[in-house]
Structure 1
Amino acid sequence: MKAFEIGPVSVTFEDRIAVVTLRRGDRLNALSVEAIESLREVAFRLREDFETTAVVLTGDPVFSAGADLSDPGHKARRAAPLLQKRELLRLAPTTCAAWEALDQLTIVAIEGFCLGGALALAVSCDFRIAGRGSHVRLPEIPLGWNLNWNATPRILNLVGPSRAKQLIIFGERVYAEEAHRWGVIDEVAEDGEALACAMRWARKAAALPPLGVRMSKRTITEQVTTLNRLTCHMDNDQYILASMTEDHQEAIAAFFEKRPPNFKGA
């Protein structure tokens, strides 16, 4: 398969390794609707690629600040009628599912930050390498939403219930070293070296028999994720409910006004 681009996502190939790079041309690399659609289409195309054993997913210059809430596509989804909104909100979860479904080993290289939906995407992959100064964060609960994108069971699988509650509910920054101790990150690299480190992991995989790698990965993934859909099938509906609350509106207002929010459970 030759190198190709879909929207802001480019894919190159080297010795049984595919390198997927999100590059929106700014310092946030946020996930617009176009970016999410492009990442999903890339995963679909890689699913049919039998020449690669490993896929490295990265961002340039940082991994991603998560969903781009200023994107017109996201705004249109939030303003859509309820029935239509439920369907439109399937885009991100199906993108994460497409990445999880790849039989190649998937390795995420994180520089800078990996927030919200970007972390949901990262935990859909097999391994995560992070630069020492980078951090992960899930800001959804403090902003009055619930964690969406079917990410909760994947995070629970990685870190256990106590750490999952800390990461999801408190919404605080967790820097690379601590995220490594928790099990979110698999290796900490020096800043600027996450991609090089991820490539070393990819080359180890690429040197192995491809069939054995794919079959073993699929067996492990299926066993650990068997109940995931059962436990997160209401994600979208919970997100819609939370976005209609007064607390959500208060959270957004407080964020822009740079003040502590006053939540009332309404």
Structure 2
Amino acid sequence: MELKNLLVEKNEGICTVKINNPKSLNALNAEVLAELEYIFDSIKDDKEVDIVILTGEGKAFVAGADIAYMKELDAAGAKKFGEDGAKVFRKIETLNKVVIAAINGFALGGGCELTMACDIRIASTKAKFGQPEVGLGITPGFSGTQRLPRIVGLGKAKEIIFTGSHIKADEAYRIGLVNKVVEPENLMEEVISIAQKIKSNSKLAVAYSKEAINRGIETDIETGIAYESNIFSLCFASEDQKEGMSAFIEKRPANFKGI
């Protein structure tokens, strides 16, 4: 697929995906969603990629879904658009690799929902978040009503969605919507530092941990614990477990192979 809205760069196991349509503040439409789906499908089986960084060009991460595009949709078209967006975001959320959002600016509506599909969210002090859909006569459509309560709690999620208010980066950090806030000039440096720290560990163990967390949060704790026990035992059939524990005992850096 020819990428018209994304810039993709790979460097030493880190793949940076940048949404690159600053004139529209990187708004999401069917074309952008199709490109995101294509690139994340490609990354899934790319052995050269260990970590993904998702960011935006210009003053926005993603300012929202494309309102001019949505205005012309009927109920059937809107259902498909919502389902397509939810499917792509779910692929990001369940990717077998860690996805870090580097939130450089506006992350509103679909943009906020996109950050929530990522594993870790690092925000610039200039970032702003919100789910302003009710002011347009619609609900969040890319799973915002489901992920936001899971991240910030039921009451705060309802407040954010019902008021449609924007919140600044420091407030997003306070309520747990983002992991860290840094100055704009330090954003990518901080995100790459986190990516490299994750990359130094066993990517097999990291992927298993992500899977266990995602499965567990969506079920009761007894089922989650049982799932973790299974994942834990699988690690002991891997070369990474043998290498990691041998390196610890021998007081040397581990040389993980992801197998």
Sort the TM-score into its range (normalised by shorter chain): 0.7 to 0.9
Deviation at 1:226, TM superposition (A): 4.1
Provide the alpha-carbon RMSD of the alignment. 1.9
What is the match of residue 80 of structure 2? 87
Deviations 1:193-240 (A, max 9, x none): 32222111111111111111111111111111349xxxxxxxxxxxxx
Deviation at 1:23, TM superposition (A): 0.4
Deviation at 1:7, TM superposition (A): 2.4
Q: Secondary structure at the match of 2:15?
A: strand
TM-score, normalised to structure 2's length?
0.79
Deviations 1:238-265 (A, max 9, x none): xxxxxxxxxxxxxxxxxxxxxxxxxxxx
Contact kept? 1:57, 1:109, Cα under 8 Å: yes
What is the match of residue 47 of structure 1? 44
Quote the Cα distance in structure 2 between the aligned partners of 1:5 and 1:201: 30
Q: Residues 85 and 112 (structure 1 numbering): CA distance in 2 closer, same or farther, change over 3 Å?
A: closer
Q: Secondary structure at the match of 2:195?
A: helix
Contact kept? 2:30, 2:81, Cα under 8 Å: no
* Number of equivalent positions: 219
**Structure 1 residue 66 and structure 2 residue 64: aligned?**
yes
Q: Counterpart of 2:57 in structure 1: which amino acid? A: D
Q: Residues 85 and 162 (structure 1 numbering): CA distance in 2 closer, same or farther, change over 3 Å?
A: closer
Q: Secondary structure at the match of 1:90?
A: helix
Q: Counterpart of 1:176 in structure 2: which amino acid? A: A
**Structure 1 residue 140 and structure 2 residue 138: aligned?**
no
Q: Counterpart of 1:116 in structure 2: which amino acid? A: G
Q: Secondary structure at the match of 1:193?
A: helix
Q: Match for 1:105 among 82, 85, 98?
A: 98
Quote the Cα distance in structure 2 between the aligned partners of 1:45 and 1:183: 31
Deviation at 1:6, TM superposition (A): 2.1
Quote the Cα distance in structure 1 between the aligned partners of 2:185 and 2:68: 28
Q: Counterpart of 1:51 in structure 2: which amino acid? A: E
What is the match of residue 30 of structure 1? 27
Structure 2: 5+ residue runs without aligned partners? 221-259
Q: Match for 2:17 among 10, 15, 20?
A: 20
Structure 1: 5+ residue runs without aligned partners? 228-266
Quote the Cα distance in structure 1 between the aligned partners of 2:71 and 2:135: 20
Quote the Cα distance in structure 1 between the aligned partners of 2:22 and 2:152: 33
Quote the Cα distance in structure 2 between the aligned partners of 1:87 and 1:164: 25
What is the match of residue 3 of structure 2? 6
Deviations 1:12-46 (A, max 9, x none): 11111111010014261211221111111111111
Contact kept? 1:32, 1:67, Cα under 8 Å: yes
Contact kept? 1:130, 1:176, Cα under 8 Å: yes
Deviation at 1:108, TM superposition (A): 0.3
Quote the Cα distance in structure 2 between the aligned partners of 1:34 and 1:75: 16
Structure 1, 182-191 or 142-151: larger mean CA deviation = 142-151
Q: After the TM superposition, which residues 154-173 of structure 1 pair with which residues of structure 2 at under 5 Å, given as runs? A: 154-173=147-166
Q: Residues 209 and 66 (structure 1 numbering): CA distance in 2 closer, same or farther, change over 3 Å?
A: same
Deviation at 1:75, TM superposition (A): 4.7
What is the match of residue 186 of structure 2? 193
**Greater Rg by CA:** 2
Contact kept? 1:154, 1:225, Cα under 8 Å: no
Q: After the TM superposition, which residues 146-225 of structure 1 pair with which residues of structure 2 at under 5 Å, given as runs? A: 146-225=139-218
**Structure 1 residue 130 and structure 2 residue 130: aligned?**
no
Quote the Cα distance in structure 2 between the aligned partners of 1:103 and 1:49: 11
Query: Percent identity among equivalent residues?
Result: 30
Q: Secondary structure at the match of 1:56?
A: strand
What is the match of residue 256 of structure 2? none
Quote the Cα distance in structure 2 between the aligned partners of 1:83 and 1:29: 25
Q: Secondary structure at the match of 2:52?
A: strand
